[in-house]
Each structure stands twice: as structure tokens, then as C-alpha cells.
Amino acid sequence: MASDYTRTVTSLDTKSVLKHLDVELTERCNNDCVHCYIRKDTGSRIQDAGCGDDGIGSCEMTAAEVEGVLEEAQGLGCLTVRFTGGEPLLREDFEEIYIAARELGLRVIISTNATLITQELANVFARVPPLEDLDITLYGAGRETYEAVSRSPGSFNEACRGLALLSGKTIPFSIRSIVLPQNSCDAQSLATWRKIQPTMPDPLPPTIYLDLRARRDSSTKNDAIRKLRMPPSDIVAWLSQDRAKYAAEHRGFCRKFAGPPGGLLFRCGAGTNSTCVDAYGNVQMCLLLRHPETVLPKKQRIKGKGSRGRLEYALEEFFPEVRKKQATNSDYLARCAKCFLNGLCEQCPAKSWMEHGTLDTPVEYYCEITHLQALDLGLLKPGEKAWQVPDWQQRLQAFCA
């Protein structure tokens, strides 16, 4: 509502050094989902979180440390913080951290499985609203499918109870779902349920790509995740269910992002005006990218720091240097660097890190998906490789026309 002196705003388009911050409050989780790329297998308390000295700092930040990060973020013009995990509500000091964020004038997104929402917490959210929808992941529409994913008996009822408590206080939330073999039969009922929630006029599309372990700490778990992945042909079938919308979206995307990227690795916005802090205080460009060359460790002394904080140093010096990195992998240079579909592909340094432990190794799974999509959209002919198409510009022009 505008007046002569004020206007209401729901978003700000500023040139702040930092617009959005993700804070991973913990890697612990009370569920044990089959597909999880984060959950740290430890006890349920911070003290059991496996503190040790591995050079990057592996003790969870205290509430005071988190609040220090939030203060610095606020000073850099940040308006929105997301608390994520693991399961952030596992933190016994969550309420303290949440209130501190709100008292700094930050809007808060909470990514949670909702199983730990209590009446007390719902009352807190009613009294001090987060100003953003809670971001809730549901793993199935019924107990059997949900708990086949979460592997946590009773978690479905706990999630439903959490949602009921939020609804009872009219606290807005959005539901994410994730498509897995265990719950694929629920896809339609979940989509229908999400559409009829009054607080969710635009349901979020389900997650269909499964990432491998971000800490690269379990080849066994990675093998299990790979087995859960939808075959590339199924991914394309899923994405293209609404043909007209699918084609239109890809035309729009290709107009902006298609074309060979060359050797420059970072083409996304990671580390530009958003960043993330992991559970131990290490500053990352994005939640998934934990390659040591791209992470500012908590314990690293900052040269010429003066009064600058770690976030400011990361955003203004450390990350800009990382973003200059060029690929050196010959396979990447022969393929991804020359691929005119690179913007459509999930390939990025974070994916390469999770799959291969490097920044520039082609991920075959995503390459195959992108090629099948391109074939389906008429951008490629059968048997063609997208890095060997001399007339790619004409093809894009024709496709986008």
C-alpha cells in the first residue's frame, strides 16, 4: 500500500554486497533419508557432532557465533537469511538464533522437515513471524511412502502434526517434495494436496535430481543414491509432461543462457551477492560446493583484514579470485567448454565436486540428460554431440524464434 511517505515492499532490488545468506545450522538430522547428501551420522546433540581438528574447523558454531555471522550479514545489507541443515530445528538454541535474526531486521526462511515443530515454536512464529514462507520438505503423501524415504518410524505423523500446528497459527509454508522410487506413486496426490493449500498458490516443482554426498564421505551412500536416480530418459519424460510449457521455458532459457562457455568454470551467481556459511563457520560460495580451494575456512587468518569481517572478505576478495578459475581437465575443455547446451546442463563446479572431487570433470549423468532433452526439443540430431555442432547458432536461432 503506497502513501505519500511510505510504501510497502516485499522485495528489494539493491546493490548490497550481500543480498541473501544461507546458514547451515547443523548437518545432523532426525530423519535418515535414503537419498540424503548432507546428514552427518552422529548423535542428536551439538556435543556429539564430531568436533575435531581437521584443518577446516568441524565443531558446530555456537549461537553466539551464528549471531556474529548474522550481524555481519546485516551490516552488508543482507535482508534474507535461510536456516538449513540437516534439520535446523534440532538445534536446542534454534529459538535464540531465530529471534536474534529477526531482531536484526532479517527475513528468515527455515528449511525443515517440520517433524520438530512444537506448539511453543508455532507460537513463536505467530508472535514473531519469519516474513518468508517456511520451506518444508515432505517425502510422501502417506505414512508408508514417507517413512520408506525418511527411514524414521513415526516421522510422517510428526510431520503432519507440525504442519497442523503451523496451519493452526496461519503460518505460511511452502511444500517441497522429491521424486524417489519409494514415493513416485504419491506424485499426483502430493501435487494435488499442495495445490489446495491456501498458503501455497504456486506449488514448488518437485526435486528430481539427486545429488551425491557434499562432503564426499561415503562411497557406499553415493552408490545407494546413484541407484535411486531416475534414468535420464525418465527425467526428460518427467520434465516434458506439459509439452507446450516445457518448450516455451526452454526457448526462454536458451535465449539467455545457451552457448559454449569456454574454460571459465563459474557461470552461475554463486559467491557474488549471496553466500553460505556451513555448520562450522566455514564460508562457501554455495551449499553444495565444498571443494577446499573454494571454501574460506573458519580458522584462516584474513590478510589485511582491518575491520572487515569474513563474509565481506569472502565476497569482495576470496570468491572473486575463485570465480576466475579456468578449467584444466582436457575432457572438460574438449566437451563442456565447447558445448552450446552448457547453460541447460546441470554441470557446474559443485556437481563436479560431488561426483568426482574436482571442479572440472564432466558429469556423464547430466550430459546424457541434456543430450536427450536437446534431441527431444529438436536441437540435436540422433548421435550428435553438442560440442561438435558447427551450426549451433543457427539451430538456436531457429529454436528460439
Partner 1 sequence: MKIDPNTVYVPSKNVVYREIEGEPIIVPITSGIGDLEDDLFSLNETGKAIWAAMDGKKTPADIAESLAAEYEGPADELKTDVTAFLKELLKRNIIWTSDTDATEA
Q: Which spans of this chain sit near partner 1 (rule: CB under 8 A)?
A: 1, 3-10, 12, 14-16, 74, 77, 79, 102-107, 126-129, 131-132, 172
In angstroms, give the least distance from the CB of 93 to partner 1.
Answer: 19
Nearer to partner 1, 129 or 142 (CB): 129
Residue 203: other Cβ atoms inside 10 A: 18
Q: Smallest distance, Å, CB 103 to partner 1? A: 6
- What is the closest distance, in whole angstroms, from the C-beta atom of residue 200 to partner 1 in the complex? 14
Closer residue to partner 1, CB minimum distance, 166 or 396: 166
Answer yes or no: are the C-beta atoms of 189 and 196 closer than 8 Å.
no
User: What's the rounded Cα separation, in Å, for the pair 146 and 162?
Assistant: 15
Residue 62 CB, shortest distance to partner 1, in Å, is: 23
Select 9 or 196, whichever has its Cβ closest to partner 1.
Answer: 9
Answer positive or negative: Cα dihedral of 128, 131, 137, 143.
positive
Q: Which residues pair with 21 in a beta bridge?
A: 81, 275
Q: Where are the alpha helices (DSSP H) in 36-186?
A: 63-75, 94-103, 119-127, 143-150, 155-168
Distance CA 86, CA 91 (A): 10
Supply the minimum distance, in Å, between the C-beta of residue 73 and partner 1: 12
Distance in Å, CB of 355 to partner 1, minimum: 38
Q: Which residue, 68 or 77, has its beta carbon nearer to partner 1?
A: 77
Q: Given the complex with partner 1, which of 14 and 118 has the nearer CB atom?
A: 14
d(CA 61, CA 386): 45
Q: Are 146 and 140 in contact (CB under 8 A)?
A: yes
Least distance (Å) between residue 276 CB and partner 1: 20
CA distance 43 to 62: 17
Which one, 75 or 181, has the nearer CB to partner 1? Answer: 75
Q: How far is the CB of 81 from partner 1 (least distance, A)?
A: 12
Which residue's CB is nearer to partner 1, number 108 or number 236? 108
CB of 14 to partner 1, least distance (A): 4
Sign of the alpha-carbon dihedral angle for 163, 185, 373, 201 = negative
Would you say 77 or 343 has its CB closer to partner 1? 77
Residue 156: count of CB within 10 angstroms of its CB:
23
Which residue in 280, 273, 354, 279 sits closest to 314, CA to CA? Answer: 273
Q: Which residue, 104 or 187, has its beta carbon nearer to partner 1?
A: 104
Rounded Cα–Cα distance for residues 11 and 299 (Å): 34
Cα separation, 383 vs 171, whole angstroms: 51
Q: How far is the CB of 131 from partner 1 (least distance, A)?
A: 5
Count other Cβ atoms within 10 Å, centred on residue 72.
Answer: 18
Q: How many Cα neighbours within 13 Å face the side chain of 226? A: 12
User: Which C-beta is closer to partner 1: that of 51 or that of 131?
Assistant: 131
Question: Rounded CA gap, 177 and 204, in Å?
Answer: 8
d(CA 139, CA 352): 26
Of 345, 212, 214, nearest to 267 (Cα)?
Answer: 345
Segment holding 191, helix H or strand E: helix 187-195
- Strands (DSSP E) found in 283-341: 283-284
